[in-house]
A and B are shown apart, each in its own frame.
Chain A
Amino acid sequence: MDVKSTPSYLYWLFCQFELITCSYLMEPWEKVLFYFFNLAMLGLLLYTTYVCLAFHASSAFQLLCSFLGNPRENSLSVVK
C-alpha cells in the first residue's frame, strides 16, 4: 500500500477491522448497532481512564513539583 497516513490506508485498516469482527457480513442496521455499541464502549473506556488516571497523574505531578521546588527542605527524605 501507499504512504502510511493517506486516506486509502485508513480505509484499508477499516476494512481489516470489518473483516476481523465480521461486520463485513452484517446487514446495514446490524452494522449501525455494532458500531454504536463499540463506540459507546470505547467512549466509556476513555472516560474511565480520564477520571481515574487524571487524579493519580495530577497528584504524582504535584509530588514531583514539590521535590524539584524544595531540594533543601526534603533532602533527608529524597533518595539520592
Chain B
Amino acid sequence: INHIVHNGGLYKKPFNEAFEETPMLVAVLTYVGYGVLTLFGYLRDFMRQWKIEKCQNATEREEQKDFVPLYQDFENFYNRNLYMRIRDSWNRPICSVPGAKVDMMERVSHDYNWTFTYTGRVIKDIINMGSYNYLGFAQNTGACQEAASKVLSQYGAGVCSTRQEMGNLDKHEELEKLVARFLGVESAMAYGMGFATNSMNIPALVGKGCLILSDELNHASLVLGARLSGATIRIFKHNNMQSLEKLLKDAIVHGQPRTRRPWKKILILVEGIYSMEGSIVRLPEVIALKKKYKSYLYLDEAHSIGALGPSGRGVVDYFGLNPEDVDVMMGTFTKSFGAAGGYIGGKKELIDYLRTYSHSAAYATSMSPPVVEQIITSVKCIMGEDGTTIGEARVQQLAENTRYFRRRLKEMGFIIYGNEDSPVVPLMLYMPAKIGAFGREMLKRNIGVVVVGFPATPIIESRARFCLSAAHTKEMLDTALKEINEVGDLLQLKYSRRRLVPLLDRPFDETTYEETED
C-alpha cells in the first residue's frame, strides 16, 4: 500500500513508503521449503542421536545427558539444521578498508559449512553493497586519515581509563561541542560503543514507575536498554500513529496498572531509519503526539544521521523540524562517519545528568583518540567548515544514488520495502534456499551483499539488504544493477505485481494517468 501523506501541513514534502504484500503463492512455497528442511532436520537429528552420523555441533557431555536438555529449543534446531547449510554467506573475512570496493579472503568448506579453510587467494575489488558507509568516509587516504594519524602519533591509541576518572581528553570535549553544534542542540556526550549508548543510558533516564512506548521493530540495543531499566514497556505497531495515540491515551487515562497513579514519565522510543525495513519514522506526527500528551521522545538516529536531510543532519533536518522538539537525540558514529561510537544530544541539564549517572560514563573506557579525530574531521567536512564542498557533494551524491537505485530496482520488478529516500534498500527473497543462492551468486559476480533471515526478520520475510554509499559511482551502481537483474532472472526473484512505468521524457497526454500499472 502506498502512503502519500499530506497530513494537514505537517509534512512539507510527500512521504512515500510502501511495503508490498507477500504474494500468496510465494508464501505457500516458502512454507513448503521450510517444511522440507524441517523434516530433513529431524532426520539428521535422529541420525546424530543414534550415532549413524558424526555429531559436529555443540552437545552436552556424556555424563550430562540425563540433565535438562540444553539444545532442544527451536533456536538451536534452526541453527544446526538450517543456518549451517547457508552459513558461508556470513562472517566473510575482508582484508581491506570497507569502502566502495573491498577485498575478501576466499574460503571453502569441505564438510558443508561446519569448518572453513582459506585457499590463500584474495578476491579483489568486490563492489561493496553491504557496509554502512553512507557518506563514504571509510577511507584509508584523505584528510580524515591524515588527521587521525597525526593524533595517533600524539596521543597513542589507548585511553586506559573511564570518562569519569582519567579518560576525559580535550579531544572529547572538542568532539562534544562540535556534535552539539552539528545537531543544533545545547549539549552532547559521546560514548565508545553505539550499542552501549542505548543499552546503558536508557536505564539512567527511566526507571520503575515509568512507561516506555517502543516501536515494534526497534533495534536490540533499545530493547535491551528498555528491559534493563525496569520500566513498563508497551509496543505500538511499526510506524503506526493511530496505535501510538491509542497507547498514549490509555496510559494517561488509566495510569499505572494496579495503583492507578499517573506515570512518572512516558518515553517514546523510535528510530530514524529502521535498518531492516528501510522505513523512516513519521517524525512530525510523533512530535505532535508527544506535545499533545506531554511525553518525552528518544530518537535513535543510528542510520539516519549524515544520510538524510539536505545538509546531512539526520531525520530532523529531513522533515525540517526543530531539533529542540526531540528530547533525547541519540546517534552513532559507526555508519556515516566511518568511526565507532555513539552520542546523545539534548538539553544541558540532561547531558550533565548523564555524565554523572550513566553506566557507560562511569564504567566504559572512553573513545580512542584517533577515532575521535576521524569523527571531528568528518563532521567538519559534512558541515563545510574545512573549506571544501566535499561534504555537501557527498550528501547530494548519496541522495541521487538512493533515488536512482531504488527506482531501477522497482522497474525491474523486485519487491523493495521502505521509504523512497532511505539509503537502506531491502530486497525481498522469502525462500530459504534463495537466501544462500543469492549470496553465493552475487559473490561469484564480484558483488558483496548482506542477506538476512530469521531471527533478524520474520521467518518467511528474508531479504537482501543493500546499503548505498556516496562513494558508489554511477558505473558501479549500473554494474551492480545489471548483475542483480541477472541473478533475479536466474533465481526468479521478481515477485512484484505492480510495475512502475519507466520515466520517459514524453509529454503528458490523456492516456497516461498514473505511474503504476497493475
Seen from chain A, the residues whose Cβ lies within 8 Å of a Cβ on chain B are: 1, 12, 15-16, 18-27, 30, 34
Whether A25 touches B86, Cβ cut-off 8 Å, given contacts A19-B434, A34-B36, is yes
Seen from chain B, the residues whose Cβ lies within 8 Å of a Cβ on chain A are: 29, 32-34, 36-37, 40, 85-86, 112, 431-434, 436-437, 489-492
B interface SS class: helix
Question: Which residue in chain A gives the minimum CB-CB distance to B113?
Answer: A25
List of B residues within 8 angstroms of A30 by Cβ: 40
Bound complex: CA A20 to CA B433 (Å):
7
B40, A19: Cβ atoms under 8 Å? Answer: no
Task: Pick the 10 closest A-B CB pairs, nearest first.
Answer: A25-B85, A22-B433, A22-B33, A24-B433, A19-B433, A22-B37, A20-B29, A22-B36, A21-B36, A25-B433
A25, B37: Cβ atoms under 8 Å? Answer: yes
Bound complex: CA A19 to CA B434 (Å):
6
Instruction: Name the one of A12, A20, A26, A34 contacting B431, with C-beta atoms under 8 angstroms.
Output: A20
List of A residues within 8 angstroms of B437 by Cβ: 19, 24
Bound complex: CA A80 to CA B436 (Å):
63
A20, B436: Cβ atoms under 8 Å? Answer: no
Bound complex: CA A18 to CA B29 (Å):
12
List of A residues within 8 angstroms of B112 by Cβ: 27
Bound complex: CA A48 to CA B308 (Å):
63
Instruction: Report B361 CB to chain A, min CB distance, Å.
Output: 47
Instruction: Name the one of B33, B85, B86 contacting A20, with C-beta atoms under 8 angstroms.
Output: B33
B37, A20: Cβ atoms under 8 Å? Answer: no
List of B residues within 8 angstroms of A26 by Cβ: 40, 85
Question: Which residue in chain A gives the minimum CB-CB distance to B34?
Answer: A22
List of B residues within 8 angstroms of A27 by Cβ: 112
Instruction: Name the one of A12, A18, A34 contacting B433, with C-beta atoms under 8 angstroms.
Output: A18
Question: Which residue in chain A gives the minimum CB-CB distance to B111?
Answer: A27
Question: Which residue in chain B gives the minimum CB-CB distance to A18?
Answer: B433
Whether A21 touches B32, Cβ cut-off 8 Å, given contacts A16-B492, A27-B112, is yes
B492, A21: Cβ atoms under 8 Å? Answer: no
A-B contact pairs, 28 of them (CB 8 A): A12-B490, A16-B492, A19-B431, A19-B433, A19-B434, A19-B491, A20-B32, A20-B33, A20-B431, A20-B433, A21-B33, A21-B433, A22-B33, A22-B34, A22-B36, A22-B37, A22-B432, A22-B433, A23-B36, A23-B433, A24-B433, A24-B436, A24-B437, A25-B85, A25-B86, A25-B432, A25-B433, A26-B40
List of A residues within 8 angstroms of B36 by Cβ: 21-23, 34
List of B residues within 8 angstroms of A22 by Cβ: 33-34, 36-37, 431-433
Instruction: Report A36 CB to chain B, min CB distance, Å.
Output: 13
Instruction: Report B241 CB to chain A, min CB distance, Å.
Output: 39
Bound complex: CA A54 to CA B489 (Å):
41
